[in-house]
Chain A
């Protein structure tokens, strides 16, 4: 399934973006809120985020090795992710991106010495990528609901103990790469503002509000973000 979203559908409010930067509602300095508003406006008309997912019905879940096998490719998802996916009957693999434009604008601003502008583009890119992943997940949830199925949270290599190097395995399923994402040797996605991963599907799986305490990465930059 291939999906695309205009930035105008995904951009959070100025207050919400300021909140991501640490500010409580109404406390961000004016130059910051003005810049967020200006850059959001600029990207709203041109920006496009893309997402793609494929559902695989024949998967093998091994509780001993905590692995998920999809078409012969074995993902070592580790105990935390496995515990959430173990009852799945199918899995969806997905990739999603805020696109290269916001990345390039951020890098260009940084290079020109306008670090604040570069930072604001960067935050917008992160939120749009996550927003696109949320929308894709909603669409998947609706699609499987008609057959009485539910979905789990989305899980990405690099989080909850799942080795980020397994991105390389994941990307073998997206050879045509509608999203235009490439991987570096170190498994970094380019555009950087991209999300990839796995979602469990089944009649006995459930979506839980995100719980950072389930994850063992105490230094994760997103830690606690969804709970704030």
Chain B
């Protein structure tokens, strides 16, 4: 208890509160800009932390990353440009909600459930970090292989109305993920002799292209007549909190648990958490057909999951110095510089500093609500801008965002190509989400597949002869039996050819 009192003392200084507040605003700002990720925001803070006290330095990074992940939801909802990869999972829903004039519902859900998710992850971190970390580090490549396959199975639920098209979209994403040199063999693949393409196809410009540029293309093709009927305002974001909490508390809780579990595993981050929980939500929903059409249920679960995973990624980082994602990797470096070396000793020898950091986690997730509200207030003005003025601005914004992803026009090229690809995919009723999922999970899957094959010298039994791996394998089989069963049974409905929809405005 004494340590907690000391921790309070460490946090409640002007220094700490001021830097947490400034870092939060900075994180919100950077996260809301497409192309600039939470990781970049945190990395940009590193030089500044050299001049800060330990608690202030770590607090600033924690607050900045939490805000940046949440803020990524805002441009997604307003402009269909997901600000961070984690927001891409549910951007369709929040954007459609805005289109229907219900922006406050989507954004309100993002603020509230992001904050709750972050708090949940933090509580798990505080109370269970050492024992959970013990469990998580026992995961070897076969376990990760099955988890990645489970993640890919989500694609089936995402494109549920047409499994073949959903899977094709997934394979496009997986192919994109295999471009470049970053494969286990270290051999250039599909690079066509280009040095730039050795780097592979970065996720961020793909996302900007496939979501935002395709939307720009559609708008310019439809002409300016389409501006009519666009919503002009965002209402009170707090209005719907009551009924959302009442109706969707289970989804929120499930999102928290999924996100926390995925975050604890080193090697899977907020983006994977968001996709998986969105798919889980859809699978168990009473109204799966509403997903992707502007339904808040999936948004709640996925927004909860990505912020929860952000907090729980600290479990292996603090206990073993093994980063759970790129953000914690940065902060581990800062922890060393500040003399808070990660490891079990951190919890034993100076618990007051680590408790202080935990308090900042809680603080950051609490101030997310007022700050997020402020940012939404500010950015909703975007919706008042007429579309013919807004579209060119979005275009230049996208170009700069894609450029910033790797500081070269290569990013802009990728964005353009995937803008056209995204347009064609939507025209042909191929869902986009599975493709993005493939790009996120593809590298994890391949790495662990090849590692396991190399370690076992091709003995396939090694994929299932560890207890946890076997457990996930059984779960995987059960899920697929259920899926195939659902395909076979309503045969007549599924056999019907895909019916072209009316072109969207």
Do A and B make up one complex?
no
Residue positions of A touching B, CB distance < 8 A: none
